[in-house]
């Protein structure tokens, strides 16, 4: 075991070196794909290679192409970092190597999910009687919830997330009927009522807690009332928005979500656990188990009144023990720590909106109600040019998008490490990009 201990220590040093140099690294690498293929490629060796050499070579060849996603200046998509306890627990998860499908495959993995699942329901305002499962991400969370719902007709807002429509296709439910949305991407409640007036067959209504570009929330209380009156199943896609429930000052945004039949969210976004970890909850435990559970003669099942076999709740069979990282994150942060991450990142988003508004040509497109800032400049070409300059500076990385047919830029503040200094550096990068080749106005 001396060799194994040595390589693990060596790997920990490599990892620590990477994390400790994030402030000095370009957020996005400048290496070309050809250079990466040259360094990483070649024929498969005939003979074995010493594990320590493999790790050293992997770091040397791959790290130039690694995006500094754990950095406080990564604002692309909706991606968090990894709080220290969760990162360390992720290493232990790999070392322990439990197959977390059955209780017998890892008793601690099963119980950890029970405990973390109960904590999450409490934190997110989901009824304690709801069932749950840990999956890879919101794609599989939406898939699982919609597989349980399994209705003939599906209604979604015009700004529905792609993981919902993809889940419907994978389930053979086809393309949903689209309900009108307002200028922030919120489903229009009156339009939903009209669509459900002549409900034809069992129906699913997919609502959204946190539109991916604007951060806006569908009017959940109205939608829940309308869905219930029509006998429809209400599913809430809250990949990041459900975490607003952890903040007393933001919890009003998710009011009404507790009335849903199922919910989907991610832990690898705002809880800041390593990829990958999604969560699904269902208000109807027996329906959940009936739709997802599995039986086979060779499976050694636990007493269902005593232990929890995860395979009954997740579409995955053999699976990683994702509960360890979530448990560690929740235990290390506590309720107050999760609240601080949510509120701090939202405050940074508001500051971005305020300071970038001073730039010429800047147009804010969303009401900054959460952690998303959506904006553009005077033309599509100018918007793309400014974004490209910021990305190429290496100071920050954020993604472009399209909103109502025009190019836009989206800042998503999701990382627990983002600081005031990170915001200042990123704003400075935008100023440099906007004023490139000209003197700033005085």
Q: What is the pLDDT of residue 439?
A: 56
What are the residue ranges of CATH 1.20.1340.10 in the chain?
Answer: 2-68
Question: pTM of the predicted model, to two decimals?
Answer: 0.93
Cβ atoms of 373 and 364 within 8 Å: the answer is: yes
Cβ atoms of 218 and 253 within 8 Å: the answer is: no
Surface-to-core class of residue 72, CB atoms within 10 Å of its CB (0-12 exposed, 13-18 middle, 19+ buried): buried
Measure Cα distances from 415 to 80, 180, 216, 266, 268 in Å.
4, 32, 19, 14, 10
Cβ atoms of 383 and 409 within 8 Å: the answer is: yes
Q: What is the pLDDT of residue 442?
A: 47
For domain 2-68, give the fold. dopa decarboxylase, N-terminal domain (1.20.1340)
What are the residue ranges of CATH 3.40.640.10 in the chain?
Answer: 85-332
Distance (Å, whole) CA 282 – CA 210: 19
Residue 188's nearest CA partner among 176, 178, 198, 197 is 178
pLDDT tens digits, the chain, 442 residues: what are they? 688 999 999 999 999 999 999 999 999 999 999 999 999 999 999 999 999 999 999 999 999 999 999 999 999 999 999 999 999 999 999 999 999 999 999 999 999 999 999 999 999 999 999 999 999 999 999 999 999 998 889 999 999 999 999 999 999 999 999 999 999 999 999 999 999 997 678 999 999 999 999 999 999 999 999 999 999 999 999 999 999 999 999 999 999 999 999 999 999 999 999 999 999 999 999 999 999 999 888 888 878 788 999 999 999 999 999 999 999 999 999 999 999 999 999 999 999 999 999 999 999 999 999 999 999 999 999 999 999 999 999 999 999 999 999 999 999 999 999 999 999 999 999 999 999 956 555 4
Q: What is the pLDDT of residue 299?
A: 84
Q: What is the CATH number of domain 85-332?
A: 3.40.640.10
């Amino acid at each position: 075991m001396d060799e194994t201990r040595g390589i693990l220590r060596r790997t920990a040093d490599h990892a620590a070196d990477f994390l400790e140099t994030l402030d000095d690294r370009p957020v996005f690498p400048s290496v070309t794909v050809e250079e990466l293929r040259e360094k990483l490629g070649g024929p498969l060796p005939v003979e074995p290679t010493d594990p320590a050499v493999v790790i050293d070579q992997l770091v040397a060849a791959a790290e130039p192409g690694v995006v500094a996603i754990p950095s406080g200046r990564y604002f692309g998509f909706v991606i968090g970092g990894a709080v220290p306890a969760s990162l360390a627990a992720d290493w232990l998860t790999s070392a322990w190597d439990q197959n977390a499908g059955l209780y017998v495959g890892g008793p601690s993995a099963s119980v950890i999910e029970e405990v973390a699942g109960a904590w999450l329901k409490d934190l997110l305002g989901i009824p304690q009687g709801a069932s749950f499962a840990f999956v890879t991400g919101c794609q599989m969370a939406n898939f699982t919830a919609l597989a349980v719902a399994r209705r003939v007709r599906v209604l979604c807002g015009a700004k529905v997330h792609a993981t919902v429509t993809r889940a419907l296709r994978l389930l053979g439910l086809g393309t949903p009927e689209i309900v009108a949305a307002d200028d922030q991407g919120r489903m229009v409640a009156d339009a939903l009522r009209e669509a459900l007036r002549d409900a034809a067959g069992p129906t699913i209504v997919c609502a959204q807690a946190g539109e991916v570009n604007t951060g806006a929330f569908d009017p959940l209380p109205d939608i829940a009332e309308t869905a219930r009156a029509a006998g429809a199943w209400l599913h809430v896609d809250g990949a990041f928005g459900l975490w607003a429930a952890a903040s007393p000052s933001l919890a009003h945004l998710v009011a009404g979500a507790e009335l849903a039949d199922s919910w989907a969210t991610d832990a690898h976004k705002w809880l800041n656990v390593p990829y990958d970890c999604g969560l699904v909850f269902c208000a109807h435990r027996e329906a959940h188990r009936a739709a997802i559970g599995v039986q086979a003669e060779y499976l050694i099942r636990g007493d269902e009144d005593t232990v929890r076999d995860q395979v009954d709740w997740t579409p995955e069979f053999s699976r990683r023990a994702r509960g360890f990282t979530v448990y560690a994150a929740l235990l290390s942060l506590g309720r107050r720590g999760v609240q601080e991450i949510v509120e701090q990142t939202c405050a940074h988003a508001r500051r971005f909106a305020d300071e970038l508004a001073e730039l010429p040509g800047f147009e804010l497109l969303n009401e900054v109600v959460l952690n998303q800032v959506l904006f553009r400049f005077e033309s599509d070409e100018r918007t793309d040019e400014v974004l490209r300059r910021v990305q190429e500076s290496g100071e920050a990385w954020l993604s472009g998008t399209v909103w109502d047919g025009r190019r836009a830029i989206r800042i998503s503040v999701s990382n627990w490490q983002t600081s005031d200094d990170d915001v200042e550096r990123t704003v400075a990068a935008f100023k440099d990009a906007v004023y490139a080749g000209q003197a700033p106005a005085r």
